[in-house]
Structures are given as C-alpha cells and as structure tokens.
Structure 1
Amino acid sequence: MSGLDEILNLIETQQQQGEELILKAAKSKAAAIKAEGDKKAQTAYEDFMHRSKEQTEKDYENACNSADAEMKRRILACKVGLIDEAIEKTVAKLKALPDNEYFQLIIKLAERHSQPEKGVLSLCSKDLARVPADFESKLNESINKKGGSITLSKEAADIEDGFILSYGLISENCSFRAIIESEKDEIRDTAARALFGR
C-alpha cells in the first residue's frame, strides 16, 4: 500500500471517528434535551393536575354552597308563604265568626287598646248594621276596669273589619289587617312555631 493510500485510510478513519464522536455527542445532547423536556413536561403536567384538582374542589364547594343557599332560600320562601297563608285563613275565620263571638272579640281587642279616658269606637258599615243592642254597655263594662269609657260612633269607618278607636285627635286602626301588620313579627314567629315547631 502506498503512502497515499495510508494517508487516505488514516483520513477516512479519522473522519469516521469524528463522525461517530459528533453523532455520539448529538445523541447524548438530544437525550439530555429530551430528558429535560420530559422532566419539564411532567412538572407542568403535575402542576396543571394539582391546580385543576384545587379548582375542581373549589368549584364543587362553591356549587354545593350555592345549591345549599338556594335550597335554604326556597325553604324560607315556602315557609313565609305558608305562614302568610295561615294568617290570611285566620283573618277569614275571624271575619266569619258568628256575631256573638265576633263582637266579643271586638270587646277584647278594644279593652287591650283602650286608654283611661273617653274614646270613640267606629265600626265598618257591615258590622255597624249587625252590632248587638247591648254591645256598647258590654264594651264599657270591660273598659271601665281601666278607668275609661267608649262611645260607639253612628258613622261607619272606612275599614273591612275590626274598629277604629279614637281619643281626641289620636286614632288607632284596629282592623284585623292593621293589627296583624303592627304585630307581624310576633305573629309570624307564633305561626312558625305552630307550623314548623321551631
């Protein structure tokens, strides 16, 4: 083999060794880049899954809280509706009482709202037409305990039921609806206890 062939073989061998070294270095670098990429991808995946899990748990908790609040709101609205319905039925029953019981109730309410002075009691036109003959005397018999007296007005009051009790310039609306409005919270509490046992 001539010297030229040896040189060419040497160059070829060196070139092959250089190529192998370059390929080996490139493969090593590619493996390192891939390993680093895999590690970053795994970290990103774990971070995403962790954040997703936390967000899912928060969304679930918020959904549960929202559903719970909505359920409580609906239950409360239903209870208020039932209480209001019970109050309306009570007012209807009071209006439908037989005359004797109705006017006994008026006397009790008048005694409760009376003052120890002279007053005037005005009934609605429907009640004024059916008032018992001894109503005013029974009313005053009850009111005298407080040291006052009440005269029954011949003029009808502009109310549906109950009465208006006047002392001079001061008048108190004692219609059933007005009494319920003035004592609404207490009436609702009593109705709630009776209906729901709370």
Structure 2
Amino acid sequence: MTGLETIVEQILQEAQKEAEEIKAQAARNADSIIANAKKTVDKMNEETREKVAQAEKSGSFRAKSSSELKKRQAILAAKQSIIGNMLDKAYDAMVALPDEEYFQVIVKCLEKSVQPKSGEICFSGKDRKRLTPQTEKQIEQIAAAHGGSLKVSNGNCDIDGGFILIYGGIEENCSFRAMLDANREHLADKVNELLFVDNR
C-alpha cells in the first residue's frame, strides 16, 4: 500500500467513526425529541377531552335546539321558494294564455276594477294588436253597467299583461304583476294550504 493509499484509508476510517458518533447522537436526540413531543400531545389530548366533555354537558341542549331551529328554517325557506316558484309559474301561465282565454281574464278583472267615471283603458302593445272589436265592445258595456265609460287608449303601457285604467289623469295599475304583488300574501297562503296541508 502506498503512502497516499494509507493516508486515504485512515481518513476514511476516522470519517466512519465520526459518522457513527453523529448518528448515535442524532438517535439519542431524536428519541428525546420524540418523547417530549409524545408528552405534549398526550397533555393536549387530555385537555381536549376535558373541554369536549364540558362542552357536551353545557352545550348539548343548545346544540340540539340550534339544530332544530336550523332545520325548521331550512324547511320554511324551501317552502317559500316552492310557493314563490308556483306564483311565478301562475303569472307566466296567465300572460301566455290563448287570446280568447286571456281576454276573458281581462274582462273579469275589469269588472272588479272599473269605476263609475269616464276614462281610458291602456294595454301593452302586444295586447292592443290582438284586441278584438268584440272585446272592445265588452269593455264599453262593463263600464256603462257600472255608470261610467271607457275607451281604449291609443298609447301602449309598459306592462306584460293586464291593463291600466286612467281616470282624470290618475292611473290605476291593474297589470297582472301588480295584482299578483298586491295579493301575494293571500295567494301564498292558498298555495301553502294546497301543497303542504298534510306536511306541517
């Protein structure tokens, strides 16, 4: 073995010993760190168990009440959403009625809204185009039967369905949307009775 090889061999042996000492020291340190961490975790677990036990004793009733309240609120919100959807569908169905049925609804609404005065009835552009002479005559007859007169306005109203009565410059909104909004609570109660009477 040459001198160089001998020196390299000695350096390697010393490095091996030093590495084994470092590993042993690290293992001792690791064992100590792990033991301390285990103690800390055990202590935290015990504290957590105590807190949970206290919370269960003091809060179980509140938690149950809160859970029941949230359940009732969710059911109520779902019912209100269903009722709202049903009313919206009813509105859409009214606006989309075939002409003859649509104007039958208009006539019934007019009978409840007409006043014993001289005035105008205003429709949307779509409704004015499909208004028949027979329906115009019916409108005039209903107004006369209530001691007034109505003529169909030449202008258009910005509404989807229904009509607007104009007496002396004062408008009475008899659009389907306005009537639905005015009677929403009553109609919602009716829908609620029909849909949920057995599920309260």
Unaligned runs of 5+ in 1: 1-48
**Which residue number corresponds to residue 110 of structure 2?**
110
SS at match of 1:116: coil
Q: Indicate the residue corresponding to 1:92 in structure 2.
A: 92
* Residues 75-116 of structure 1, C-alpha deviations (whole Å, 9 max, x = no match): 111111101110111011111111011011111111111111
Deviations 1:30-51 (A, max 9, x none): xxxxxxxxxxxxxxxxxxx9xx
Question: Which stretch shows the higher mean deviation, 102-111 or 169-178?
Answer: 169-178
Distance 1:156 1:126 in 2: 9
- 1:182 corresponding residue in structure 2: 182
Question: Per-residue displacement from partner, 1:100-146 (whole Å, max 9, x unpaired)?
Answer: 11011111111111111112110001111111121121122233332
| TM-score for the superposition, normalised by structure 2 | 0.68
Counterpart CA distance in 2 for 1:109 and 1:146 is 14
Once residues 86 and 135 of structure 1 are traced to their aligned partners in structure 2, the CA distance between those partners, rounded to angstroms, is: 29
Query: 1:58–1:145: structure 2 CA closer, same or farther, 3 Å change rule?
Result: farther
Q: SS where residue 88 of structure 1 aligns?
A: helix
Q: Which residue of 1 aligns with 2:122?
A: 122
Distance in structure 2 (CA, Å) of the matches to 1:69 and 1:144? 56
Q: Give the aligned partner of residue 26 of structure 1.
A: none
Aligned CA distance change for structure 1 residues 57 and 146 (closer, same or farther; 3 Å): farther
Give the deviation of 1:148 after TM superposition.
2.0
Query: Identity of paired residues, percent?
Result: 34
- Which residue does the alignment assign to 2:146? 146
Aligned length: 147
**Structure 1 letter corresponding to 2:181:** E
Mapped to 2, the partners of 1:107 and 1:163 lie a distance apart of 10
- 8 Å CA contact 2:116, 2:147 repeated in 1: yes
Offset, 1:56: 3.1
Conserved? CA contact 2:95–2:160, under 8 Å: no
Q: Distance in 2 between matches of 1:144 and 1:195?
A: 41
**Distance of 2:81 and 2:185 partners within structure 1:** 14
Cα distance in 2, alignment partners of residues 72 and 85 from structure 1: 20
Q: Distance in 2 between matches of 1:58 and 1:178?
A: 52
Q: In structure 1, what is the Cα distance between the partners aligned to 2:58 and 2:170?
A: 60
- Tell whether the 8 Å contact from 2:161 to 2:175 is kept in structure 1 after alignment: yes
1:83 and 2:83 correspond: yes
Q: TM-score, normalised by structure 1?
A: 0.69
SS at match of 1:150: strand
Q: 1:135, 1:117 → 2: CA distance? A: 20
Counterpart of 2:147, as a letter, is G
Residue segments in structure 2 that go unaligned for 5+ positions in a row: 1-49
Per the alignment, in what secondary structure is the counterpart of residue 155 of structure 2?
coil
Corresponding residue of 1:159: 159
Residue 63 of structure 1 is matched in structure 2 by 63
* Structure with bigger gyration radius: 1
CA separation in 2, counterparts of 1:132 and 1:196? 41
Equivalent position of 1:193 in the other structure:
193
The residue type paired with residue 140 of structure 1 is E
